[in-house]
Amino acid sequence: MISFPNAKINLGLNILSKRPDGYHNLSSCFYPVEWKDILEIIPSHKQHFTSSGIAIPGANKNNLCIKAYDLLYDNHQIPPVHIHLHKVIPIGAGLGGGSSDAAFTLKMLNNIFNLKIPIRLLEEYAAELGSDCPFFIQNKPVLVSGTGTKFNLTSINISQRKIIIIHPNIHVSTKEAYAGIIPKNSSNSIKKILKTPLANWKSLLTNDFEKSIASSHPDITIIKKQFYDYGAVYASMSGSGSAVFGIFEKDFNLSLLNNLAKSHTVWHGIL
């Protein structure tokens, strides 16, 4: 069986408070995009994992696909499989690629072995693997709260727009991302902002990670500025970085970004 785990972008990301357990309460909107990895799972006489494409550090030990298999094995005693991941979504980019791979592994194993695990339980399993993982079980636009695992479906509609994502080939660790964060409650909720016209988002919708990450990695600010210079309606860093996305009108001429494409990884599609 083959599937195509996709990325997501964050429409706004506010870090509201630090919890007693050391995690943070946040607010965001997760929106799926069609930048995809390729994941294949087939029956095998022994359990093993292989990968191609972008190199995955420690792929044979700590990969989330392996952890997803181990989790279902512990709970449902599933047979061994060969998992092969062709990695396309950049790592450490704030696009949720690894989380998506894990969630899709859970869904695929559920189907392959006819485990009939309900969606809510799959989401609980996914939450054990990482805070972004449960989102990719249903893979629909959601308003996010708590530590990133509480979801409410949203009717936000940015269809007929063109999204362009540029990864400046910078890896941002979670530790680095949170090092510059001072949690604070936002006076204007992301839910309310997203109900306003998209043209208002530039002045209202923020990613709290962006300022500190961009101070260490100026390419992020440069890319965002160039997006706006070329007519983006909205641009932002996604997640904890370092990918930057711009939302453009559908007829935007991609050739205008040729210079950026020479030195960065670029993806584009229609939302």
- Residues assigned a catalytic role: 8, 132
CB half-sphere exposure, 146, CA atoms < 13 A: 11
- Sign, Cα dihedral of 153, 270, 8, 37: positive
Sheet containing strand 142-145, edge to edge, reads: 6-18, 24-36, 142-145, 150-153
Structure tokens, 59: 């792929």
